[in-house]
Amino acid sequence: MKAHFLIRHDQAPKAFEIREVEKPIFQTDEVQIKVEGFGLNFADVMAMKGLYRDCPPLPTIIGYDVVGRIEAKGINVTNVAVGDRVTALTRFGGYAEYAVTKSAAVAKISEDLELGKALALSTQYCTAYYCTEEMTRLHEGDKVLVHAAAGGVGTALVQLAKWRKCEIYGTASSHKLDYLQTQGVHHPIDYRNEDFFEVIQRNIGDAGLDVIFDPIGGPYLKKGMKLLGSGGRMISFGASELTNANNLFSKMKFLWSFGIYHPVFFISHSKSLIGVNMLRIADNRPKVFQRVLEKVVELAEQGILNPTVGKVFEFEELPQAIEYLASRQSIGKVIVKVE
Ligand SMILES: NC(=O)c1ccc[n+]([C@@H]2O[C@H](COP(=O)([O-])OP(=O)(O)OC[C@H]3O[C@@H](n4cnc5c(N)ncnc54)[C@H](OP(=O)(O)O)[C@@H]3O)[C@@H](O)[C@H]2O)c1
């Protein structure tokens, strides 16, 4: 089979190489999938830049989500059958013609679910659903802030918050503000040109926000903690801003800029800081991941969740696809077709 290997930490055209290798072998609780297309995630950009701790040693095949057909399965797999069309979270290995993953990370999908929409479900929508439905509870009228709200996870968070009838503040680069409005964000904020802290504080005064979803980290998280009201929850699930740090000193400075919090602070202010890493959930709580994936697929099949497919690339165009995601231009899901 053909696969894109990450061979060095560099700009995308030099970082990846297409190689011919054997199809991956599967264990008794795993499935082998013939890949129709794979999705890109911001973690792939971090891996390319050498900023992603979970990335296996190079050369390696990265990639978290695939859609395709079950080609073969282990004897203990009961939730899907050979020939089923599925969406799946792969533990790397997604940028290829065939991929292998645990059966708990796979869900059957309908034949007519659009490839890009199906690809958005396994990582980005599962992350968002886990954050909104399992790590916090959104209620009607809750004031929530979604950072990077036009991206893959961001779009999913906005749709889930809208489903729960929340009042949504959403940040994005300026050219995405119209998109945020069409998605139902009540207060789109161009956070690269205005201070989201001041804009929101002007709007809500001392009342504070109920929930913040923060994939950026550093000073964004620190300011966010100040915007939370009593009972407020900060869901911290990324550190996109780390991609701007290009030496050890700037990385340390970034880590420092999150702030330091003592448990007494959380008790006395009645605020929470919740960390989320879906890889840990998929690895260590496979039943939880499976429950979330099945729920997300059900909501998408019902049309309650409707992923946005930002751009579709051909197999050979992987470097362009990843550069596009890294450039902050993309909206929704970026995918690569294989078949
Ligand atoms: N913890 C988990 O389990 C988990 C799972 C999935 C994703 N994530 C995290 O969630 C975030 C979003 O992931 P995604 O795959 O959905 O990507 P994405 O949001 O589709 O793309 C990244 C977007 O982040 C925004 N951004 C903010 N600061 C940035 C920076 N310094 N450099 C580049 N982009 C920046 C950009 O949008 P604007 O310019 O419009 O702001 C960019 O388009 C990432 O931080 C990712 O690591 C975490």
The residue whose CA is least distant from atom 31 of ligand 1 is 241
Q: What are phi and psi for residue 124, nearest 5 degrees?
A: -70, -45
Domain boundaries, the chain: 2-124+282-337, 136-275
Q: Give the C-alpha separation, 172 to 181, whole Å.
A: 11
User: In this structure, are residues 28 and 76 in contact, taking their beta carbons and an 8 Å threshold?
Assistant: yes
Q: pLDDT tens-digit profile of 306-333? A: 999 999 999 999 999 999 999 999 999 9
Q: Is 281 in the pocket of ligand 1 (CB under 6 A)?
A: no
Cβ of 238 closer than 6 Å to ligand 1, yes or no, is: yes
205 φ, ψ to 5°? 60, -135
Cβ atoms within 10 Å, residue 313: 18
Residue 273's DSSP bridge partners are 234
Return the ligand 1 atom nearest residue 127 CA: 5
136-275: CATH topology: Rossmann fold (3.40.50)
∠ Cα 156 159 160 (to 5°)? 85
pLDDT at 177 over 90: yes
Confidence band of 284 (pLDDT split at 50, 70, 90)? very high
The highest-level CATH class for domain 2-124+282-337 is: alpha beta
Q: How far is the CA of 259 from the centre of ligand 1 (A)?
A: 21
**For the chain, what is the radius of gyration of the CA atoms?**
20
Q: Within 10 Å of residue 75's Cβ, how many Cβ atoms?
A: 8
Nearest to 171 by CA among 154, 185, 152, 191: 191
Q: For residue range 105-161, what is the model confidence (pLDDT) as tens digits?
A: 999 999 999 999 999 999 999 999 999 999 999 999 999 999 999 999 999 999 999
* Residue 158 CB less than 6 A away from ligand 1: no
The verdict on the CB of residue 183 being under 6 Å from ligand 1 is no
**Contact status, residue 281 vs residue 130, Cβ threshold 8 Å:** yes
What pLDDT does 245 receive? 86
Centre a 10 Å sphere on the Cβ of residue 276 and count the other Cβ atoms it contains.
Answer: 18
Which residue's C-alpha comes closest to atom 34 of ligand 1?
328
Pocket lining: 153 vs ligand 1, CB cutoff 6 Å? yes
Q: Where are the alpha helices (DSSP H) in the chain?
A: 12-15, 42-48, 115-120, 126-129, 152-163, 177-183, 196-204, 219-227, 248-256, 263-269, 278-284, 286-301, 318-326
DSSP state of 207: S
Q: For residue range 239-282, what is the model confidence (pLDDT) as tens digits?
A: 998 888 888 899 999 999 999 999 999 999 999 999 999 999 99
Average pLDDT, the chain: 96
Q: Which residues pair with 169 in a beta bridge?
A: 145, 187
CA of 150 to the centre of ligand 1 (A): 9
Q: What percent of the chain has pLDDT over 70?
A: 100
Model pLDDT for residues 47-81, shown as the tens digit of each residue: 999 999 899 999 999 999 999 999 999 999 999 99
Q: Quickly count helices (H) and strands (E) in the chain.
A: 13, 15
